[in-house]
Amino acid sequence: MNMQDKIKVLITGATSPIGLRTIHALQHTYKHVEYVCVTRSKAKLVSLFDNYAIDTSRIIIAECDLSNYSQSAQCLLPILDQKGTIDAVLNIAGLFISKPFLDCDEHDFELLVSSNLKTTYVATHIALPYLLKNRGGSIVNISSTLGLHTIEGANNVIYDAVKAAIIKFTQSLAKELGPNNIRLNCICPGILVDDMPQDKIQDIADVLTAQPLKRFGKAEEIANAIMYILSPEASWMTGNFMCINGGINL
Q: What is the pLDDT of residue 2?
A: 47
Residue 169, CA distances (Å) to 34, 55, 106, 116, 214 in order = 26, 33, 23, 12, 31
Average pLDDT, the chain: 94
Secondary structure of residue 193 in the 3-state scheme: coil
pLDDT one-digit tens code per residue, 104-123: 999 999 999 999 999 999 99
Q: SS3 string of 197-210?
A: CHHHHHHCHHHHHH
Inform me whether the pLDDT recorded for 159 exceeds 70.
yes
Whole-angstrom Cα distance, residue 157 to residue 93?
A: 19
| Mean pLDDT in residue range 148-160 | 88
Inform me whether the pLDDT recorded for 1 exceeds 80.
no
Alpha-carbon dihedral of residues 222, 225, 229, 231, nearest 10 degrees?
120
Whole-angstrom Cα distance, residue 248 to residue 145?
A: 8
Q: What is the pTM assigned to this prediction?
A: 0.95
| Phi/psi at 19 (5° precision) | -60, -45
Beta bridge partners of 7: 33
pLDDT one-digit tens code per residue, 25-49: 999 999 899 999 999 999 999 999 9
Q: 6-244 is classed in which CATH architecture? A: 3-Layer(aba) Sandwich (3.40)
Beta bridge partners of 141: 91, 186
Domain boundaries, the chain: 6-244
Q: Give the torsion sign (CA, 112, 163, 190, 89).
A: negative
Beta bridge partners of 9: 35, 88
